[in-house]
Amino acid sequence: IFDRVYNSSPRDIINMGLAEIFRSKGLSMANCGFLKLNAIFPVMLGLAHATVAFWCKSDVSASVVAAMPGDEAKVPLFVAAFMPLWSIILSIVALQALAAVAPNGYESQRGRAQKAPGEIERAGNPGWIERVQSAQYNNWESTIGMICSFYVATELKLSAPLFAKLATLFFWCRIVYPIPYALDVDMMRTQIWLTGLYATAMVAFAALFPDTIIPLLT
């Protein structure tokens, strides 16, 4: 792969595909060994914290929150209401793609089996459909964590501006997340996932330990 990158024309590089270019540069967690995984993860966690802290301190976050539906106090409620719908939308995208390209279309008589992990690609369908379906599963998992964190923040009355900023950052991480997943750019996908996860963790822990956590974010 390295030879293909460094000895190819610009047109050949474009035709390689984004995921292959990232992997040729070592920017991937594919087939990631123990040492590489544990060397990369602290850096990614640090980037997640830096992103969340920068977001909370920046004027941009206030502008984005203001652009969200409803007033500041309703932003976390909107995010909580929208996340299950986003999972369903991702599922519909995968379903429609199967209907368009699979030999038998979408097989509703065995829909869950057809979309089971690994089955879409094993049947010869494009890998991005499998990955969009996986993004849907991941979104449900993230929604579970979000609900727990939002409950803690609501019960302990986390300040509305900080709650709204963190909820908005989580929202956009989840909206963007399927794009690098579908493109198979795994390190970017993981960084976006980790940033969203960190934001939801801060929602809960800023409410639980405000004197310790809030100064780290504001």
pLDDT-derived band at 14, boundaries 50, 70, 90: very low
> Model's pTM, two decimal places?
0.89
d(C-alpha 188, C-alpha 192), whole Å: 6
Mean local confidence (pLDDT), 30-53: 93
What is the average pLDDT across 11-23? 64
Task: Assign 4 a pLDDT band (cuts: 50, 70, 90).
Answer: very low
For the segment 163-180, the average pLDDT, to the nearest whole number, is: 98
